[in-house]
Amino acid sequence: MKLHLLQLLLLASFFCFSCAKEVPPPAPIGPLPSIQQLNWHEMEYYAFVHFNMNTFTDMEWGLGGESPSLFNPTELDTRQWARVAKEAGMKGIILTAKHHDGFSLWPSAYTEHSVKNSPWKNGKGDVIKELAACKEYGLKMGLYLSPWDRNHADYGKPEYITYYRNQMRELLTNYGEVFEFWVDGANGGDGYYGGANETRNVDRKTYYDWDNTFALAKELQPDIVVFSDGGPDVRWVGNENGFADATNWAPLRRNEFAPGIGPYQQLTSGHEDGTHWVPAECDVSIRPGWYYHENQDDKVKSLSELLDIYYKSVGRNGNLLLNLPVDRRGLVHENDVKALMELRKTLDETFAVNLTKGAKAVASNIRGNDYLSSNILDEYNDTYWATADEVIESELVINFNKETSFNRLVLQEYIPLGQRIKAFKVEVMDGDGYKEIANETTIGYKRILRLPQVTTSQLKITFTDAKGSPTISNVEVYLATSEPSAE
């Protein structure tokens, strides 16, 4: 059968179109997150549990000479911790396996200053093992191992580093998967030190041989992320309020920091010209203290305070690590549980209905068919809208098809290609023109804006500055009706 010329031309056009090269994604910009860091970003919100010798001495920082006989919880139930965390919407628990006083919550083979010499379970208990069993709740476990040990006789000597690494090996090989290894900056000072009762100072930058110590953690747990003031994988946010700056870069000039060393005020916002991807973890306690104190039972943070923390951590390109001071029974206190559930209920109500369902997204520039503006509304993090190379200033308009009231806006970048947005503004259709309701800087993994309540048929987001073509994976809109007023 012969084909007409028109048919041949149509077939040729079809095959040329089919064989056309796909438009490549934008080139990556700056440092990029590892797979482990991407998994960490998705956790967003998890618990810190400070529970150790200090719980029973009513202190925040023990001196190291406390008797193991003081550790004796009456109703220790790590499953209660896990149930509370799960019901609160958390995705993991990081436990103080050893704080500065050196008391170990597991029967370490390398010290007598541990639960094996306590009356709890006649010395046969292991808090880490009991917490590890809680993975049945779908929670991940992280562990804090203080670099400073006010009990150990060798602290300050080279022998202590061997001891510290031996304890790391125990924690990171005997209890299954550990998602985060947590190290703080408290290093050196006065202490018991095996009975010496003296002050010992160390060179915080060199004493611990951090590069090799952290490398050991990753050798033992390939999927782990390591937290310290400046990383290597996750950084401190620079305060204990749980607040990141409104401008918050995941990149950091990492080599300027070490545990206990660095310009802490810069950790709150990161560095636009950062050399490594080191996102911020925002740690804060639900009470004034990190450890349980009975006189703080009536000082649990209010719903308004907890919401402010949430929006200034998770809502500002950080993760929220909210501390729960487990009490002397070995339980999360009822007052803390009540506050957590109030927060969960309120956030569930706020983010229950995404008002972009059924809406249409239109962009001022589209890179190609794989980068359509509709990708921002599909709620998948692995699809995104992008502009052509060199097109920085660009717009996304969301048409709701009807008048819609909202006061919360969620934005996410496609961070596997780097954090790119430097400035953007938000406008709504008001009469015959647009009215600006927000003018902001960075986005990153997630940015949540608390906006004045508006009613409009169109929302416009204009990206005014970026390191390269914008890559936006997600835009969501909500109406919060049950939240207290923002502070």
| Torsion angles phi and psi, residue 311, rounded to 5 | -70, -25
How many Å apart are CA 445 and CA 415, to the nearest integer? 6
Residue by residue, what is the 3-state secondary structure of the chain?
CCCCHHHHHHHHHHHHHHHCCCCCCCCCCCCCCCHHHHHHHHHCEEEEECCCHHHHHCCCCCCCCCCHHHCCCCCCCHHHHHHHHHHCCCCEEEEEEECCCCCECCCCCCCCCEHHHCCHHHHCCCHHHHHHHHHHHCCEEEEEECCCCCCCCCCCCHHHHHHHHHHHHHHHHCCCCCCEEECCCCCCEEECHHHCCEEECCCCCCCCCHHHHHHHHHHHCCCCEEEECECCCEEECCCCCCCCCCCCCCEECHHHCECCECCHHHHHCCCCCCCEECCEEEEEECCCCCCCCHHHCCCCCCHHHHHHHHHCCCCECEEEEEEECCCCCCCCCHHHHHHHHHHHHHHHHHCCCCCCCCCEEEECCCCCHHHCHHHHHCCCCCCCEECCCCCCCEEEEEEEEEEEEEEEEEEEECHHHCCCEEEEEEEEEECCEEEEEEEECCCCCCEEEEEEEEEEEEEEEEEEEECCCCEEEEEEEECCCCCCCCC
The structure tokens listed for 151 are 């009990």
How many Å apart are CA 315 and CA 483, to the nearest integer? 15
Query: What number of residues does the chain have?
Result: 487
The pTM (predicted TM-score) of the whole model is 0.94
Q: Kind of pairing, strands 276-277 and 251-252? A: antiparallel
pLDDT at site 484: 83
How many Å apart are CA 88 and CA 230, to the nearest integer? 29
Distances (CA, A) of 261 to 23, 135, 156, 229: 45, 34, 17, 8
How many Å apart are CA 9 and CA 217, to the nearest integer? 63
Per-residue model confidence as pLDDT tens for the chain (487 residues): 344 433 433 344 433 333 345 899 999 999 999 999 999 999 999 999 999 999 999 999 999 999 999 999 999 999 999 999 999 999 999 999 999 999 999 999 999 999 999 999 999 999 999 999 989 999 999 999 999 999 999 999 999 999 999 999 999 999 999 999 999 999 999 999 999 999 999 999 999 999 999 999 999 999 999 999 999 999 999 999 999 999 999 999 999 999 998 899 999 999 999 999 999 999 999 999 999 999 999 999 999 999 999 999 999 999 999 999 999 999 999 999 999 999 999 999 999 999 999 999 999 999 999 999 999 999 899 999 999 999 999 999 999 999 999 999 999 999 999 999 999 999 999 988 999 999 999 999 999 999 999 999 999 999 999 999 999 999 999 999 989 865 4
Q: Kind of pairing, strands 394-413 and 447-466? A: antiparallel
pLDDT at site 22: 86
| Torsion angles phi and psi, residue 350, rounded to 5 | -65, -45
pLDDT at site 485: 65
Burial of residue 8 (number of CB atoms within 10 Å: 0-12, 13-18, 19+): exposed
The structure tokens listed for 13 are 């056009």
N- to C-terminal Cα distance for the chain? Answer: 77
How many Å apart are CA 163 and CA 150, to the nearest integer? 13
How many Å apart are CA 151 and CA 158, to the nearest integer? 16
The CA-based dihedral angle spanning residues 473, 479, 480, 485, taken in that order and rounded to the nearest 10 degrees = 100
pLDDT at site 21: 58
| Torsion angles phi and psi, residue 260, rounded to 5 | 90, 0
The strand pairing partners of 258, in sequence order, are 261
